[in-house]
Each structure stands twice: as structure tokens, then as C-alpha cells.
Chains A and B, each alone.
Chain A
Amino acid sequence: GAVVSQHPSRVICKSGTSVKIECRSLDFQATTMFWYRQFPKQSLMLMATSNEGSKATYEQGVEKDKFLINHASLTLSTLTVTSAHPEDSSFYICSAQAGTSGGSSYEQYFGPGTRLTVT
């Protein structure tokens, strides 16, 4: 159980175009999904927290108008990288939280990641 998928797994796009990445929880409902980014030899960095039916909360330094997040249902969140530049090339990973009410430790399940290359 607790499977998270991401699509596409790899994408190459030209500078200035937009790319949409989908994150789906396949066998559970996730009220909260998170988007992370990982540059080579760096740690995963949280970009934003996405709650179903409300606006995403972005971490400091992450441009909300550039990284558009939509969490339309309990099983789907999308990240759109708008007007992509080569410096946006990175490994984008989502996670979905399968928590229980009143629990103190919510596990996060990660998708397989999307490797974006902007040329």
C-alpha cells in the first residue's frame, strides 16, 4: 500500500516553455502533498505544501508565480514550472501524507521523482 506515482518521470523542455508534473496517491487519500526539489549532491529542499482545496504554502525563496501548484483532489497534485530556465533543471519529487487524526507522526510517501532538464 501507500504508493505515490509521478508523471512524467523525465522531461526535457526548451527555455521559456512550461512543464506540468503530476503527483498521484494511488491507494490512499492524501489531504496534504509536498513538493521537493533536489539538485545534484544536495539535500531535498521543500518547495511548497499543498492542501486539497486550498492555496499552496510556499517556502521562503520559492516563487509562487513560477511554480504553480494545484491540489484539485485528494489523490492528485500538480506542479507547473512556468517559463522554465536552465537553472530550473533539477529532480522534482512529491510526497503524499497518509496521516491519522490525532497521530503524532505522519508518514510521507514519496513519488519516484521527475527529472527536468531545461535546454
Chain B
Amino acid sequence: RKEVEQDPGPFNVPEGATVAFNCTYSNSASQSFFWYRQDCRKEPKLLMSVYSSGNEDGRFTAQLNRASQYISLLIRDSKLSDSATYLCVVNDRGGADGLTFGKGTHLIIQP
């Protein structure tokens, strides 16, 4: 069974702090990796894809470790608007399959 595991949190973090989430996946043949953000009672929205070399998008940095089957997301200078659930997502066949979602990590940024 394909699984994606995340710490559900919640992570309570003061505004301006740096926070990191981790995720592990069980299928070593997985090909594509993503972080999605889901607000309460809304659909998930793509935050960023995760590449083997690591990638950055503004305050967000994603890393992939294929050997350890581990994905991370770092958020710097956190904003109140970053409060959400962050979903680690894996695609096993590079696009031909549906996505496998983790349960998400709940982040609360406190003023």
C-alpha cells in the first residue's frame, strides 16, 4: 500500500519564525513530489513541486532525499496567512496516476 506519512501537528509558531515540516513516503519508485496547501473546508492548492536538487520559491524551500524517501518544506519569516494545513503529495508514475496525499501538517502562525 502506498503511504505518505506526516506529523499532523499542530505546529504553533510565532509570526516571523522559521518552521520546517517533514514527510516520508513508502514507494521508492515514486517519481513526482509536491507540497500542497489546504485551508479549512477548501480544496488543496499547489504550493510547489519538489525537485531532487532542492528548490526555493520566495520564503519556501523544498528538499527531496530519495535515498531516505524523505521530503521537507521550510518556511522562513512566517506570516499569519501561512496558517493552513500543508499536504505532502506523491505521484508514483510521473503523472499517469492520481496523487497520494499525506494527512497533512496543521500550521498555526501566532501574532
B58 contacts across to A, CB distance below 8 A = none
Q: In the complex, given contacts A46-B98, A103-B95, A115-B41, what are 12 additional A-B residue pairs having Cβ atoms less than 8 angstroms apart?
A: A34-B99, A36-B101, A44-B99, A44-B101, A46-B99, A46-B100, A49-B98, A59-B98, A95-B99, A105-B94, A106-B96, A109-B46
- Closest Cβ–Cβ distance, residue B92 to chain A (whole Å): 11
The reply to whether the CB of B61 lies closer than 8 angstroms to some CB of chain A is no
In the complex, what distance in Å separates the CA atom of A36 from the CA atom of B98? 9
* A110–B32 touching, CB < 8 Å: no
In the complex, what distance in Å separates the CA atom of A49 from the CA atom of B87? 20
Interface footprint category on A:
20 to 34
Chain B 32-54, CB-CB to A under 8 Å as 1, else 0, gives 10000000011111100100000
Task: Report which A residues bind B (CB closer than 8 A).
Answer: 32, 34, 36, 41-46, 49, 59, 91, 93, 95, 97, 99, 103-113, 115
20 A/B residue pairs, CB under 8 Å, sorted by A = A32-B96, A36-B98, A43-B104, A44-B87, A44-B101, A45-B101, A46-B98, A46-B99, A46-B100, A93-B43, A95-B98, A95-B99, A97-B95, A103-B94, A104-B31, A104-B95, A105-B94, A108-B46, A108-B99, A112-B43
* A113-B101 contact given A103-B95, A104-B95, CB 8 Å threshold: no
In the complex, what distance in Å separates the CA atom of A97 from the CA atom of B91? 12
Q: Is the interface of B mostly helix, strand, loop or mixed?
A: loop
A111 contacts across to B, CB distance below 8 A = 43
In the complex, what distance in Å separates the CA atom of A105 from the CA atom of B83? 27
* A42–B103 touching, CB < 8 Å: yes
In the complex, what distance in Å separates the CA atom of A106 from the CA atom of B33? 11
B31 contacts across to A, CB distance below 8 A = 104-105
* B103–A43 touching, CB < 8 Å: yes
In the complex, what distance in Å separates the CA atom of A106 from the CA atom of B87? 17
